[in-house]
A and B are shown apart, each in its own frame.
Chain A
Amino acid sequence: MTTTPLRAPRTADHLDLLESHAIFILREVVAECERPVLLFSGGKDSAVLLHLALKAFAPQQLPFPVLHIDTGQNFPEVLRYRDEQAASLGVKLLVAKVQDSIDQGKVADPGPMGSRNRLQTVTLLDAINDNGFDAAFGGARRDEDKARAKERILSFRDGFGQWDPRRQRPELWQLYQGKVNPGEHLRAFPLSDWTELDIWQYIEREQMELPEIYFAHERDVLLRDDMWLAVGPFVEPRPGETVERRVVRFRTVGDANCTGAVDSPADTIAAIIEEIAIANVSERGATRADDRFSETAMEDRKREGYF
């Protein structure tokens, strides 16, 4: 039997380089900005982002808090995962609630079944403002959407949190410059160049934990707008809709009333990787009602200051 010597030269593979680039971005932003924060939804991308952030500063503690924008319409499994991860990784978790923005009268209450997806921009911008954050790390990837495909790795936001796609800062080489004036801030996207497949291969390699809703399970669902929505407190059958029990999993994690499940028997990371490698439908196309409003739904939300 042979053992691998500790110091054997090893060539860098694709995942090593993606990991390295993301770590580089995390360190640059933390070094150049005064008060960064990491936006943590409990989804797979933000889980990878948090994992990378811990690596970037190990063995020191994470030099910034993580922030969850709680719409009040989350999957309970995801909230549980969020709290467990924060506790076991020893990171400082801040939670900003859309319900508070509603109670303060800043946004109108869309009712218990109404979507709060768009409202969370207000809660997010207030949290950034109130805490004086000048940089917010997000797990967005350029392969997710045509507007995200246009965004810089360090994306400048003005005093109103707006993204102006016509006036982005040039971003040359890997010279990420993150200086902003008071009131302005940056969004930083270390996973910009990762694809959905890269994310899953990395999760497999790093043996990361994820919320169980990513894996195949039985659930009561109903078909609405061509998507399987999970029946629960935020989705009740309307007249004409029937509830079915199916084996499904979620490809993205968002609000329970606008995130669709996909029919899937994939109950391991390896099976998910196989499934994605031959998928015909994109991640957001398969699962996100919030992108179906219009041709430029994501661009419009991003302009307002969305994630």
Chain B
Amino acid sequence: MKLATKDLLRLATIGSVDDGKSTLIGRLLVDTRQLFDDQLDAVVAASEKRGVGDLDLSFVTDGLRAEREQGITIDVAYRYASTPSRKFIIADCPGHVQYTSNMATGASTADLALVVMDVAHGIKEQTRRHLCIAALLGVHSLIVCVNKMDKVDWSQSAFQREVDEVQSLSSELGFKSVTIIPVSALLGDNVVDPSKNTPWYEGPSVLSALETSDAGSWARTTRGARLPIQWVLRQSGGGRTYAGMIDGNAFHVGDAVTLLPANIETKIRAINSGSGERGEAGVGLSVDLDLDDETDAGRGDLIASAPLPTVTKELTATIIWFGDQPLVEGQRLRLKHTTKVTPVRVQAITGVMDIETLVIDESSTLTTNQIGLATLVTADPLVVDDYRDNRVTGSFVLIDVVTNATVAAGMVGRASFF
């Protein structure tokens, strides 16, 4: 059985706490028979034990003791599913504001966000924050579930009010594809099959929207091939090859490439991969490249084809700050970008986003879970693309120098709405 990359969809659930994300994923997995008998039995037993009914669907993904005790999701659960049309990697993310960094973790590798909102409450602040983060992370497609329709007696006008609100916010944030569905995660309406309770709704169910949505957007770019060097392999004949995972466009044998930041031009002599030599290798493949010229390149350097990325020690970047203490100007941290780790200093913080209005306010600090703009200066040169051109060479994390904790997600440049 051979599957092309487009047959895999990575999705993340987002939205505010208690709006029904885990229940929806549980419903989707149960109704498409993705659970083994023993797994379903265990969810039933846990529901009974905790006195939350016959079957608490959120327990399918809320697997930690504390999550079941408190009835909330704390960290991302990854689940794997497949239907005849495609495979899915599902990241069920937490909604609580305290766990925003975990939501960002789940969304950072997603092609699509499955947004869940409570029809009675509309778009809450945390829903807006999640949508902003998803937009910044470059998720282009949304499936928005207007949930708990059972609680408003399947009211079309209640649904329509949310449709208008969602459409205006998602166009402001620049999402390319938005499907809005009235559902009851609890009862299963419009999750797998169309519901009789919503005769006025003619769109797809959640499952069919997932099966037909655009996949692979994560990796799509037209701006050059990139190979951040991870490791130098010494070949038996005495030569060296450069190992790493490809991003952006494909490399071909014979391609003219540039080694950066040294700016050495050379050609690709051979491409080796886990299953032998190749003439061509594209995004997501781990390879090692044999180059025409001997160089002293190493880990942290980058092999690129035109158009070339920028070599710089100063970045203008969008930052999502996760640290417990505020980020302040002059602060020193470590930065990891592709395969390079370098000391970094915050030169200036130039703005913070007001989640309610999407307006950039002036600020010289960023507090926990705030999104802002900053200028950073690094000790060593970085080889970067704008995040919107390349998610790999455009992204970085900031690391606390004492605890080694990851304290921020960074994206080179700024989004158009930001």
> Contact size class for A?
35 or more
| Interface contact B233-A299, CB-CB below 8 Å | no
Question: Residue on A with the closest CB to B279?
Answer: A7
Check if B261 is an interface residue, CB within 8 A of chain A: no
Distance in Å: Cβ of B90 to nearest Cβ of chain A: 10
Choice from A11, A30, A31, A59 contacting B235 with Cβ under 8 Å: A59
In chain A, residues 39-72, which have Cβ atoms closer than 8 Å to a Cβ of chain B?
52, 55-60
List, in ascending order, chain A residues with CB within 8 A of B234's CB. Answer: 59-60
9 A-B contacts (beta carbon < 8 Å):
A11-B282, A16-B285, A27-B230, A145-B63, A173-B108, A175-B396, A281-B37, A296-B65, A299-B65
List, in ascending order, chain A residues with CB within 8 A of B37's CB. Answer: 280-281, 285
List, in ascending order, chain A residues with CB within 8 A of B36's CB. Answer: 279-282, 285
| Interface contact B66-A166, CB-CB below 8 Å | yes
In chain A, residues 174-201, which have Cβ atoms closer than 8 Å to a Cβ of chain B?
174-175, 177, 179-181, 192-193, 195, 201
Question: Residue on B with the closest CB to A170?
Answer: B101
Choice from B66, B109, B322 contacting A173 with Cβ under 8 Å: B109
Check if B105 is an interface residue, CB within 8 A of chain A: yes
Stretch of A17-25, A96-104, A229-237 with 4 or more beta carbons under 8 angstroms from chain B: A17-25
| Interface contact A150-B77, CB-CB below 8 Å | yes
Stretch of B3-11, B206-214, B289-297 with 4 or more beta carbons under 8 angstroms from chain A: B3-11
| Interface contact A13-B299, CB-CB below 8 Å | no
* CB-CB nearest 9 A-B residue pairs: A146-B63, A7-B279, A285-B38, A20-B286, A282-B36, A14-B3, A23-B286, A170-B101, A9-B280
| Interface contact A10-B63, CB-CB below 8 Å | no
Choice from A12, A24, A170, A177 contacting B336 with Cβ under 8 Å: A177
List, in ascending order, chain B residues with CB within 8 A of A193's CB. Answer: 78, 80, 89
Once bound together, how far apart are the Cα atoms of A32 and B243, in whole Å?
Answer: 15
Distance in Å: Cβ of A24 to nearest Cβ of chain B: 4
**Chain B residues packing against A (C-beta within 8 Å):** 1-5, 7-8, 36-39, 42, 45-46, 49, 61, 63-66, 68, 74-80, 87, 89, 101-102, 104-105, 108-109, 230-231, 233-236, 243-245, 253, 273-275, 277-280, 282, 284-286, 299, 322, 334, 336-337, 339, 341, 391-392, 395-397, 399, 403-406, 409
List, in ascending order, chain A residues with CB within 8 A of B339's CB. Answer: 28, 31
Interface of A is mostly: loop
List, in ascending order, chain A residues with CB within 8 A of B3's CB. Answer: 13-14
| Interface contact A149-B404, CB-CB below 8 Å | no
List, in ascending order, chain A residues with CB within 8 A of B278's CB. Answer: 7, 9-10
Check if A130 is an interface residue, CB within 8 A of chain B: no
| Interface contact B243-A27, CB-CB below 8 Å | yes
**Most A C-beta atoms less than 10 A away, residue of B80, B101, B279:** B80
Distance in Å: Cβ of B39 to nearest Cβ of chain A: 6
Distance in Å: Cβ of B57 to nearest Cβ of chain A: 14
| Interface contact B8-A170, CB-CB below 8 Å | no
Check if A94 is an interface residue, CB within 8 A of chain B: no
| Interface contact B233-A57, CB-CB below 8 Å | yes
| Interface contact A55-B277, CB-CB below 8 Å | no
| Interface contact A171-B5, CB-CB below 8 Å | no
**Chain A residues packing against B (C-beta within 8 Å):** 6-14, 16-17, 19-21, 23-24, 27-28, 30-32, 52, 55-60, 142-143, 145-147, 149-150, 152, 165-166, 168-175, 177, 179-181, 192-193, 195, 201, 279-282, 285-286, 295-296, 299
| Interface contact A21-B105, CB-CB below 8 Å | no
| Interface contact B406-A14, CB-CB below 8 Å | no
Question: Residue on B with the closest CB to A8?
Answer: B279
Number of A-B contacts (CB under 8 A): 194
Distance in Å: Cβ of B215 to nearest Cβ of chain A: 12
List, in ascending order, chain B residues with CB within 8 A of A165's CB. Answer: 64, 66, 74-75
List, in ascending order, chain A residues with CB within 8 A of B108's CB. Answer: 172-173
Knowing A150-B76, A172-B395, say if A13 contacts B104 (CB, 8 Å): no
Choice from B7, B285, B334, B337 contacting A20 with Cβ under 8 Å: B285
Once bound together, how far apart are the Cα atoms of A32 and B42, in whole Å?
Answer: 39
Choice from A11, A14, A143, A171 contacting B87 with Cβ under 8 Å: A14
Once bound together, how far apart are the Cα atoms of A111 and B244, in whole Å?
Answer: 49
| Interface contact B77-A173, CB-CB below 8 Å | no
Distance in Å: Cβ of B241 to nearest Cβ of chain A: 9
| Interface contact A172-B77, CB-CB below 8 Å | no
Once bound together, how far apart are the Cα atoms of A57 and B233, in whole Å?
Answer: 7
List, in ascending order, chain B residues with CB within 8 A of A192's CB. Answer: 78
Distance in Å: Cβ of A291 to nearest Cβ of chain B: 9
List, in ascending order, chain B residues with CB within 8 A of A168's CB. Answer: 75, 102
Once bound together, how far apart are the Cα atoms of A146 and B78, in whole Å?
Answer: 9
Distance in Å: Cβ of A300 to nearest Cβ of chain B: 8
Once bound together, how far apart are the Cα atoms of A60 and B233, in whole Å?
Answer: 7
Question: Residue on A with the closest CB to B33?
Answer: A280
A143-B80, A285-B37 known, 8 other contacts, Cβ within 8 Å: A13-B4, A31-B231, A165-B66, A170-B406, A181-B404, A201-B1, A280-B36, A295-B68
Knowing A59-B235, A60-B234, A193-B78, say if A173 contacts B38 (CB, 8 Å): no
List, in ascending order, chain A residues with CB within 8 A of B61's CB. Answer: 146, 149
Once bound together, how far apart are the Cα atoms of A27 and B339, in whole Å?
Answer: 10
List, in ascending order, chain B residues with CB within 8 A of A23's CB. Answer: 245, 274, 286
| Interface contact B39-A282, CB-CB below 8 Å | yes
List, in ascending order, chain B residues with CB within 8 A of A60's CB. Answer: 233-234
| Interface contact B406-A177, CB-CB below 8 Å | yes
Distance in Å: Cβ of B135 to nearest Cβ of chain A: 16
| Interface contact A171-B406, CB-CB below 8 Å | yes
| Interface contact B79-A16, CB-CB below 8 Å | no
Once bound together, how far apart are the Cα atoms of A172 and B93, in whole Å?
Answer: 13
Question: Residue on B with the closest CB to A52?
Answer: B274
Distance in Å: Cβ of A64 to nearest Cβ of chain B: 13
Distance in Å: Cβ of A249 to nearest Cβ of chain B: 18
Once bound together, how far apart are the Cα atoms of A146 and B35, in whole Å?
Answer: 12
| Interface contact B245-A20, CB-CB below 8 Å | yes
| Interface contact A170-B5, CB-CB below 8 Å | no
List, in ascending order, chain B residues with CB within 8 A of A299's CB. Answer: 63-65
Knowing A142-B80, A147-B63, say if A174 contacts B392 (CB, 8 Å): yes
Distance in Å: Cβ of B59 to nearest Cβ of chain A: 9
**Most B C-beta atoms less than 10 A away, residue of A58, A149, A201:** A149
Once bound together, how far apart are the Cα atoms of A111 and B92, in whole Å?
Answer: 43
| Interface contact B284-A20, CB-CB below 8 Å | yes
List, in ascending order, chain B residues with CB within 8 A of A55's CB. Answer: 274
List, in ascending order, chain A residues with CB within 8 A of B336's CB. Answer: 175, 177
Once bound together, how far apart are the Cα atoms of A31 and B3, in whole Å?
Answer: 31
| Interface contact A177-B399, CB-CB below 8 Å | yes
